[in-house]
Structure 1
Amino acid sequence: MPETTEEEKIHEKRVPISEHLEELRSRIIKSIFIVIGLFFVCWFFKARILEIIKKPHSITMKNLGLSQSLQVLSYQEGFYAYIKLCLITSVFVAYPLILFQVWRFVEAGLFKKERKYVKTFAPVSYFAFITGVLFGYYFLIPYGLQFLIKILGGGVQPMITMSQYISLVTLLTLALGIVFQLPLVMLFISKIGMLQADDFIKWRLYAILIIFILAAVITPPDPFTQVMTALPMIILYEVGILTMKPTKKAVQRFGTLLAIGVLLIYIVYLIFTLPTKADFLESTGTVKILPNAGTSWQPLSSEYKINNGATLKTERDSKASFLLKDGTYVIMDVNTEVKFVKSRNIKLIEGQILIAIKADDKPFMIAAKENVVTSSDSNIDIKVSKHTVYVTVTKGEATVVANGQKKKIFEGRQLKFTTGGKTTDINKVIKWAKEMQKKLNEQDRRNISL
């Protein structure tokens, strides 16, 4: 007898459409029960899951010095948000099991060669999905959120709701998980003979256009996240071409795109990662911080990053010390408020600071009551009272520009100057005003008599 072909074996296995529908219904029901079971497990751990999902938000807000809490606008919003969170998490966890049910349904209709491809591609596909989710979780979402918050500027207090945040994070992570499977889809299409590498090369420009449109659909309406989503998709498209046709030209194109991508990521890191101005060392009592983008004071802890534009404040029972990134050491006395203007430049709003200035080519500048103290490699004590500023140099020397005059203070000396003008004898001013008023009255009487 002649050997039975693969096509004949499949033909022999054909069953009525009703049995196919019955098997499909069975697979769908099993998948639903798996998701429901995992949903209740996730509900039990909902607070922990929210903490994990919330991490990109917490990192963003901590870097900006803002409140890390999520808001709810109604009593029932939190309940519905938790349902959404647990449902999406259960589907995500059940993803391999659901794929297995799909595989069991379509397996009988595939040729041996096709089944081999699926068994090879399925684990790699899942790995690519996880890679895309992690890319969104650790990179795209934190930097995207930081971009969206930073463009608000100062004086605007963002209020992020729990439901909106969960929707945004899950949409982006799931979308990126699917996007990262693009090279596998392209390779699979090539293997089954539908399209070849040359077809993908010919349609490259159209593919890039579609990628940007797709990125605009699945991301928030801002250019940063759209570009940061489209760029990996373009690189993945080139990876797909490279796996199908690993020519020298394809390798060079991929290397160029990868270099551009790394450069853009580095630029994003420099722009959207706020450089830390100072490291908080220790304190007694409560020290508060007002971030540059914030509108409310918050207790300062070692977890906070002190950036340019931030303001620190001690109260009557607290002191603080911190180390600037250039090595300058600052101690804040009680009832003191200091603002970080820029590199090697701070403003003493009120109170008293002791500052050990690190030597540098650029002099250190302290503004106090609209007066300026500059120095390098010296220890200076500066105290601001209501109308007076005291500058004492315990090491080195300092230059002070006060009331339009420039003066130098040497080691062991102190300079005291008043602010808001010089003091005067108010009684003399009143007497002079009365005399002038008397003369004006006499002049008016003469004019009338004439």
Structure 2
Amino acid sequence: MAKNPHKFAMIKAGLSTELQVLSYQEGFYAYMKLCFITSVFFAYPIIIYQIWQFVSVGLYKKEQKYILLFLPISYAAFVVGGLFGYFLLIPFGLQFLIGILGPGIQPIITMGTYVSFVFMLTVALGLVFQLPLVMLLLSKIRFITPDKFISWRKYAILLIFIIAAIVTPPDPFTQTMTAVPMIVLYELGILISRPTKKGFIVLGAIVGGGVILLAAVFFYLTHKGGEIGLLNAQGNIQVLYPRGKEWKPVLNHVNFRNGITLKTGSEGKTAILTKKGVDVGIDANTEVHFHDAWKIRLKTGQVLISMKESEVPFEIDTPNGRIRTNKGTVNIQAGDFETIVTAVKGEATLLVEGEEKKLLEGRQHKMTIGGEPVDIGAIINWSEGVLTKSNEKK
């Protein structure tokens, strides 16, 4: 689940969703950081309570009453702010940042930088959503009047955009998406800082509406149309879902999300259309894993890849190497010891043991790792007589 914003952005951009690590310890540090930030998120009420225990002795009874009333609302606002960032602001912000790179640039997103950026921003937005409560508290203890908040509005808006520029990536889209809710929160703080019950009702309605909106966005992101469409199924075809342990039968015209593995039986065949418009024909006795919109892994069997010209290459991993194609039709037969690639239409690029080869249209190439298989028995047969005579002379 922690990877959802990254997966959303990369799938939209048609790129691999894998995170990278640049050192042995980076993954460990990233997990530790993730655990720390998550613990802060869930331990927020306890943290606030401990702070309250420290400052309450110096407050009047009336001030203590207000703060005790605000604590549960403060936690609700913190959760709503964090969820707003995690499920709405961050995914679309990452999508924008990846999208402006343009063709020819391959982003390398490391696990450490991703965890730091996403979860620190999530916590920051949770704290930002405390703004109306802070304004209400300051007005209740008569430290700042609502009229002052109104007169400071233009300066507050400028300060909000400065803060948004600091806590978000350096792009106007994410900055604006962060600043606009903060401005709304500031206006909400002015509204509820007046001593009326209406202010609390409005606050509860906005928090509740925010929860409903976030739930709707989460449902959309997790239940929207599949990335893979199974157009035609013949014979025995099974699917293994990303976290599943059992193969399940497949019917015609079913949509799947990335991460599935399809397996055909001895009489099974099917045709797949990815969301990026790549046709994948799957032959009998074939097992193929759909990594993302632009990458599959052919474990065994035969597939036919057909696609229109694209700046982003479609990749096919096999036990004996990797194939890339930007347009045309490529047929691939994968086995344990060799993979036969045929460029039916257009060209393909083959990557075997660190070497890159170009496969021209109408040509075929056998990909092997560690050399091609050979009949060792034939070599032993012809050499036995020679070795025997040599030993006799000795």
Q: Normalised by the size of structure 1, how large is the TM-score? A: 0.49
Which of 349, 358, 366 aligns to 2:328? It is: 349
Counterpart in the other structure of 2:44: 95
| Aligned 8 A contact 2:78 2:127 in 1 | yes
Which of 297, 307, 310 aligns to 1:338? It is: 307
More helix by share: 1
| Aligned 8 A contact 2:149 2:190 in 1 | yes
Deviation at 1:227, TM superposition (A): 0.6
2:306 maps to amino acid: E
Q: Deviations over 1:39-66 (max 9, x none)?
A: xxxxxxxxxxxxx321211222233332
Which of 256, 263, 281 aligns to 1:302? It is: 256
1:338 maps to amino acid: M
Q: Deviations over 1:144-191 (max 9, x none)?
A: 111111111233222110000011011211111011111111111111
Which of 126, 143, 151 aligns to 2:100? It is: 151
Identify if the C-alpha distance between structure 1 residues 246 and 275 changes in structure 2 by more than 3 Å, giving closer, same or farther: farther
Counterpart in the other structure of 1:126: 75
Counterpart in the other structure of 1:74: 23
Q: What pairs with 1:401-440 in structure 2 (closer than 5 Å)? A: none
Deviation at 1:205, TM superposition (A): 0.6
1:156 maps to amino acid: I
Please give the secondary structure, in 2, of the residue aligned with 1:281.
strand
Structure 1: runs of 5 or more not aligned: 1-51, 251-264, 266-273, 287-300, 321-332, 342-346, 353-383, 388-450
Which of 114, 138, 143 aligns to 1:194? It is: 143
| Aligned 8 A contact 2:227 2:275 in 1 | yes
| Aligned 8 A contact 1:316 1:334 in 2 | yes
Counterpart in the other structure of 2:9: 60
Counterpart in the other structure of 2:153: 204
Q: Between the two proteins, what is the percent identity of the paired residues? A: 53
Cα distance in 1 for residues equivalent to 2:93 and 2:140: 37
Cα distance in 1 for residues equivalent to 2:345 and 2:41: 62
Deviation at 1:315, TM superposition (A): 7.0
Please give the secondary structure, in 2, of the residue aligned with 1:53.
coil
Cα distance in 1 for residues equivalent to 2:17 and 2:73: 36
2:328 maps to amino acid: I
Which of 202, 205, 226 aligns to 2:175? It is: 226
Cα distance in 2 for residues equivalent to 1:246 and 1:340: 64
| Aligned 8 A contact 1:315 1:336 in 2 | no
| Aligned 8 A contact 2:227 2:258 in 1 | no
1:98 maps to amino acid: I
| Aligned 8 A contact 1:129 1:177 in 2 | yes
Counterpart in the other structure of 1:367: none
Identify if the C-alpha distance between structure 1 residues 308 and 191 changes in structure 2 by more than 3 Å, giving closer, same or farther: same
1:349 maps to amino acid: G
| Aligned 8 A contact 2:70 2:133 in 1 | yes
| Aligned 8 A contact 2:9 2:94 in 1 | yes
Identify if the C-alpha distance between structure 1 residues 233 and 242 changes in structure 2 by more than 3 Å, giving closer, same or farther: same
Please give the secondary structure, in 1, of the residue aligned with 2:70.
helix
Counterpart in the other structure of 1:415: none
Identify if the C-alpha distance between structure 1 residues 282 and 75 changes in structure 2 by more than 3 Å, giving closer, same or farther: farther
Please give the secondary structure, in 2, of the residue aligned with 1:129.
helix
Deviation at 1:80, TM superposition (A): 1.6
RMSD in angstroms over aligned alpha carbons?
4.2
Deviation at 1:386, TM superposition (A): 6.5
Identify if the C-alpha distance between structure 1 residues 308 and 100 changes in structure 2 by more than 3 Å, giving closer, same or farther: closer
2:109 maps to amino acid: I
Q: Which has more radius of gyration?
A: 1
Deviation at 1:212, TM superposition (A): 0.3
Paired residues in the alignment total 258
Which of 34, 48, 55 aligns to 1:106? It is: 55
Q: Deviations over 1:232-272 (max 9, x none)?
A: 0001111111113499xx9xxxxxxxxxxxxxx9xxxxxxx
Q: What pairs with 1:357-376 in structure 2 (closer than 5 Å)? A: none
Q: Normalised by the size of structure 2, how large is the TM-score? A: 0.56
| Aligned 8 A contact 2:330 2:345 in 1 | no
